[in-house]
């Protein structure tokens, strides 16, 4: 087989002009493409013997410039199997994921648990419950009796599960009803407004404290800024900590120091809320949950200074240091501390005006609960409550009698007509 760029001489003496022609040296046929010549040599050339592999591959061994990849027929594909421990069989690695989803694997991977003649089938995939299988204890002849026993067992199982759910719900409801009145509503409104803003029921920017919307009579911002907190994966832990402090210390303050005096406790919340609103408008603080909770916590700590509390990491200290520990902890973790300082100042202002100034310094009562709050929330006597006894003032010396500008000491008088 030869190739020519101008003229080609065939076996019968004819001259063929072609740019690049392929000639079969066995029969003299001329082809313009090499693949056609190759198929001719393999299939239709009668001059080539059937077993003459050398002649059939003559074109491939020729000086063809373009090299192609050759396939090795003797090369075999490597098959990798994976052992399924549940089914005890080998599965192709490429088919292993499909095998795990097949019903055959699920049936072989099931486990059976007997519980009072009830056979529970659990799947091997994260122990998900698949079905129930009832095994009757007695041999029944009638189908009706068998179905009655099945229905009784199913009913007992369902009643047991329903009873457990109802018992848990009743415990939760009883706990919620035992929370003091103002603490319960404060906690409920905080959770409700936070979740409503998180799931888009209310737009969050309509719940925060801003001065300009207040000029357009958006008065609800004065209340919602106290209950709403922007909930996100970054702030979720801090929100739970606030809920814990709100429930724990507000409940203690309402039941112990203000026990039986709901109007006084409500007035304390109103005073702290007004102070938070004023500071929030001046300092442009849109959220007031943190300073409000810290103010209530500070008041409880000042009224229970010597109580030992357990903090994180096993630390123990007196309650009077708790607000400052929270301030330092928040400064280390998040780099903040402004909300804690505002809450401490507001709580100290109320404690000074209500307790320290009138009781320890002998001053007048500058803060008094309005009578209208007393009418709305009358005192409930019978519990342990009160603010404690004020300290005894030092006894004053009796005035001396006699002297130039003092009255005369007339002595002890006698009743007329007496002995």
Q: What is the pLDDT of residues 243-255, one digit of tens each?
A: 999 999 999 999 9
In a domain, 417, yes or no: no
Question: Which DSSP string corresponds to 69-134?
Answer: PPP-TT--PPP-EEEETTTTEEEEGGGHHHHHTSHHHHHHT-EEEEETTEEEEE-TTTT-EEEEEE
Same domain as 131, residue 261: no
For 75-102, the pLDDT digits (tens) are: 455 567 888 877 778 888 888 878 877 8
Nearest Cα to 291, choosing from 215, 368, 209, 216?
A: 209
Which token pair is 389? 């006894």
Here the tokens at position 7 are 């003229």
Please state, in angstroms and rounded to a whole number, the distance separating the CA atoms of residues 392 and 249. 29
Size of the chain in residues: 419
Q: Flag whether 264 is in a domain.
A: yes
Flag whether pLDDT at 270 surpasses 60: yes
Task: State whether 24 and 107 are in the same domain.
Answer: no
Residue-wise pLDDT for 125-160, tens only, equals: 444 445 555 555 555 556 677 677 777 777 776 666
108 is a domain residue: yes
Taking 90 as the threshold, does the pLDDT of residue 225 lie above it?
Answer: yes
Quick one: 96 and 193 in the same domain?
Answer: no
Burial 284-315 (b: 16+ CB within 10 A, else e): ebebbbbbbbbbbbbbbbbbbeeeeeeeeeee
Average pLDDT over residues 50-69: 46
pLDDT value for 240? 92
314 Cα distance to chain centroid = 25
* pLDDT recorded at residue 133: 56
Residue-wise over 324-359: b if at least 16 C-beta within 10 A, else e?
eebbeebeeeeeeeebbebbbebbbbbbbebbebbe
Q: At what angle do helices 289-303 and 262-283 cross, to 10 degrees?
A: 130
- 237 and 106 inside one domain: no
- In a domain, residue 319? The reply is yes
Are 338 and 352 in contact by the 8 Å Cβ rule? The answer is: no
**Is 186 found in the same domain as 302?**
yes
Shared domain check, 110 and 252: no
Regarding whether 260 and 112 lie in a shared domain, the answer is: no
Q: For residue 285, give the nearest of 328, 332, 340, 244 by alpha carbon.
A: 340
Q: What distance in Å separates the CA atoms of residue 160 and residue 162, rounded to the nearest whole number?
A: 6
Residue that has been written with the tokens 């076996």 in this structure: 11
Q: Are residues 275 and 346 in the same domain?
A: yes
Is residue 354 domain-resident?
Answer: yes
**Spatial contact of 90 and 81, defined as CB atoms under 8 Å apart:** yes
Residue 18 resides in a domain: yes
Residue of 336, 330, 272, 331 whose CA lies nearest to 300: 272
- Tell me how many degrees the CA angle 234-290-205 measures, rounded to the nearest 5: 65
Same structural domain, 273 and 317:
yes
Work out whether the CA dihedral 305, 308, 309, 313 comes out positive or negative.
Answer: positive
Least confident window among 4-18, 106-120, 212-226, 356-370: 4-18
Q: Are strands 118-122 and 111-115 parallel, antiparallel or unpaired?
A: antiparallel
Number of other residues whose CB lies within 10 A of the CB of residue 31:
17
Q: How far apart are CA 201 and CA 4, in angstroms?
A: 85
Q: Is 16 helix (H, G, I), strand (E, B) or coil?
A: strand
Amino acid 407: pLDDT: 47
What range defines the domain where residue 125 resides?
A: 81-135
Shared-domain flag, residues 48 and 113: no
For residue 334, the domain's CATH number is 1.20.1540.10
What separation in angstroms does the CA of 311 have from each of 134, 296, 316?
52, 18, 6
Tell me if 391 is assigned to some domain.
no
Instruction: Over range 199-211, report the average pLDDT.
Output: 91
Helices 262-283 and 338-351: crossing angle in degrees, nearest 10, is: 140
End of a domain among 31, 60, 89? Answer: 60
End-to-end alpha carbon distance in the chain:
169
Mean pLDDT of 382-402: 45
Nearest 5 degrees, angle CA 350-CA 352-CA 358? 115
Residues 90 and 210 both lie in one domain? no
With a CB cutoff of 8 Å and minimum separation 6, the contacts of 44 are: none
Residue 334 inside a domain? The answer is: yes
Query: pTM for the whole thing?
Result: 0.54
> Are 23 and 29 within 8 A, CB to CB?
yes
Asked which of 80-84, 108-112, 215-219, 335-339 is least confident by mean pLDDT, the reply is 108-112
Q: Are residues 307 and 231 in the same domain?
A: yes
Our count of domains for the chain comes to 3
């Amino acid at each position: 087989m030869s190739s020519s760029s101008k003229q080609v001489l065939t076996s019968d003496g004819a001259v063929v002009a072609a740019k690049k022609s392929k000639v079969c040296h066995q029969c003299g046929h001329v082809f313009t493409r090499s693949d056609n010549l190759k198929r001719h040599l393999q299939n239709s050339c009668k001059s080539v013997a059937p077993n003459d592999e050398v002649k059939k591959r003559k074109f491939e061994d020729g000086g063809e410039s373009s090299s192609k990849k050759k396939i090795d027929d003797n090369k075999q594909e490597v098959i990798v199997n994976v052992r399924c421990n549940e089914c005890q069989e080998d599965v192709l690695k490429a088919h292993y994921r499909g095998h795990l989803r097949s019903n055959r694997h699920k049936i072989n991977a099931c486990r059976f648990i007997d519980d009072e003649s009830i056979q529970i089938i659990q799947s091997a995939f994260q122990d998900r419950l698949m079905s129930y299988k009832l095994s009757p204890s007695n041999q029944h002849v009638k189908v009706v009796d068998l179905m009655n026993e099945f229905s009784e067992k199913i009913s007992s199982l369902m009643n047991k599960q329903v009873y457990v759910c109802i018992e848990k719900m009743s415990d939760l409801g009883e706990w919620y009803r035992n929370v003091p009145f103002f603490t319960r509503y404060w906690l409920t409104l905080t959770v409700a407004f936070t979740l409503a803003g998180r799931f888009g029921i209310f737009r969050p920017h309509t719940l925060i404290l801003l001065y300009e919307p207040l000029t357009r009579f958006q008065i609800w911002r004065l209340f919602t800024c106290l209950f709403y907190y922007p909930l996100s994966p970054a702030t979720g832990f801090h929100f739970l900590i606030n809920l814990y402090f709100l429930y724990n210390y507000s409940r203690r303050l309402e039941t112990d120091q203000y026990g039986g005096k709901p109007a006084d406790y409500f007035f304390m919340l109103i005073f702290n809320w007004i102070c938070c609103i004023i500071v929030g408008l001046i300092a442009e603080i849109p959220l007031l949950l943190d300073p409000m909770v810290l103010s209530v916590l500070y008041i409880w700590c000042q009224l229970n200074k010597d109580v030992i509390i357990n903090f994180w990491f096993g630390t123990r200290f007196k309650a009077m240091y708790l607000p400052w520990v929270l301030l330092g902890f928040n400064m280390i973790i998040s780099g903040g501390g402004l909300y804690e300082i505002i809450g401490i100042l507001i709580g100290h202002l109320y404690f000074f005006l209500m307790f320290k100034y009138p009781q320890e310094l002998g001053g007048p009562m500058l803060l008094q609960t309005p009578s209208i709050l007393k009418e709305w929330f009358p005192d409930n006597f019978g519990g342990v409550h009160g603010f404690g006894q004020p300290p005894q003032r030092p006894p004053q010396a009796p005035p001396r009698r006699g002297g130039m500008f003092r009255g005369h000491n007339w002595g002890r008088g006698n009743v007329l007509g007496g002995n």
